[in-house]
Structure 1
Amino acid sequence: MHPLVVIPVFNEENTIESLINELLALGFKDILIIDDASEDSSIEIAKKLKVETISLPFNMGTWSAIRVGFKYALDKDYEQVITIDADGQHIPNDIPKLLNGLRKGFDIVIGACPQRANMAKKVCWWLFRKFSGLKINDFTSGFRAYSKSAFSKFSTYNGANLEYQDVGVLIMAKKFGLKIGEVPVEMKSRTWGKSKVFPSLKSILRYFLITFTIIMVKGR
């Protein structure tokens, strides 16, 4: 069975059409758009391309949107879920690398591109590795593959309602005993907009404080 490709979307009208068309051209027909209360035409573009869509009533954040996709995957009996960002940075051609990681026995496979990180990200990632015990090179990549064992746990565990899906989710995966792997991928430069995770120094500090709290409470 083909994997379900879950794309959380919030105001991505400039990139969503090309991403969907690229996925379809590669043969990934099972695509689910989770529209996180976008204020632009993202959902209309997705519907025009005739892919499955779910619209959330208000902005819930990326991880909550992904969990909706996990529940859909369980209901439709998928065995694998790919999550990919809608901003055009991830390269769909790399999806087979992630799926191959699942075939090797990992429950979560991260498409890692650590060389894209600026100094602020590198410092954050170093601190996350030190305090969480996770040997991960790229903590903030949303380009991931999940086995059914992994996405079924996260779809039903209410404690997984985390503001940041990257580090917090990996910490919970570790506690669940799930096997986490990484595969190297390339990522495109952002062509418009700015990072929703690290748009400013203030956001970096806020991100670190929230994630550090998660690590202290749940990580060890």
Structure 2
Amino acid sequence: MIPALNEAASIAGVVAAACAYGRCIVVDDGSSDGTAEAARAAGALVVSHPANRGYDAALDSGFREADRMDCEVVITLDADGQHTPELLVEFVAKLKAGAAVVLGVRDRKARLAEHVFAWYTRRFGIADPLCGMKAYRIDVYRALGHFDAYRSIGSELALFAARNGYRLASVPVKVRDRVGEPRFGRKLSANLKIFRALALSL
């Protein structure tokens, strides 16, 4: 499942690679550049927001659609080409081995706030809470009832799983250079969003 905002330049390639491993849901979060059309043409099922609602809301819409489709597993990845879809098989293998949530752990983090957030979540066994590549059994989502209710930049469901005794696993993720602006915006605003998410997670 891929949340996307104005990623027309990269989305078709990401979708084509991901579709080789299963059904692909793209949540177009109010894009104005033809992201939805490009994703659909590449083979994705597209859920569209008429206006931008944010990263967490896009993922929540994607989880609801996956639940409606009776998917047993949801794997999230970014639309900007930073993640390697070939790693999906490793995430699935960890789930088959008994993990409820599998977390991508990036080889590099761009922002100070990401390092601080990771320092906090390590106590729960989460080394990289903000990596967009994660895998979940759908029953974890059903147990919480939503993906993210307090705009924690995609970390609430993983923290819920860790705090409630679900088994976690991780997969190293080598980050490739993305196309265009970072998902969370420029450095200062992105750090502020991440620190806010950390405060809400305490």
Query: What is the TM-score normalised by the length of structure 1?
Result: 0.81
Give the aligned residue type for 1:143.
M
| Aligned 1:168-187 pairs, distance under 5 A | 168-187=156-175
| Aligned 1:36-185 pairs, distance under 5 A | 36-113=29-106, 115-118=107-110, 120-121=112-113, 123-129=115-121, 133-154=123-144, 156-157=145-146, 160-185=148-173
In structure 2, stretches of 5+ residues that fail to align are none
Post-superposition offset of 1:23: 2.3
For residue 13 of structure 1, the aligned residue among 8, 17, 21 is 8
Deviations 1:112-158 (CA, angstroms, capped at 9, x unpaired): 11x3124615642454237xx3232222111011112212234x248
SS in 1 for 2:21: coil
Shift >6 Å, 4+ stretches: none
Give the aligned residue type for 2:200.
I
Deviations 1:149-206 (CA, angstroms, capped at 9, x unpaired): 212234x248x3232333333322233432222111222122x223223621343134
Q: Larger C-alpha radius of gyration, 1 or 2?
A: 1
Alpha-carbon spacing, 1:34–1:119, altered in 2? closer, same or farther (3 Å): closer
Give the aligned residue type for 1:38.
S
The count of aligned residue pairs is 202
Q: Is the 8 A contact 2:125 2:162 kept in 1?
A: no
Give the aligned residue type for 2:69.
K
Partners of 1:126 and 1:203 lie apart in 2 by: 15
Give the aligned residue type for 1:95.
L
In structure 1, stretches of 5+ residues that fail to align are 1-5
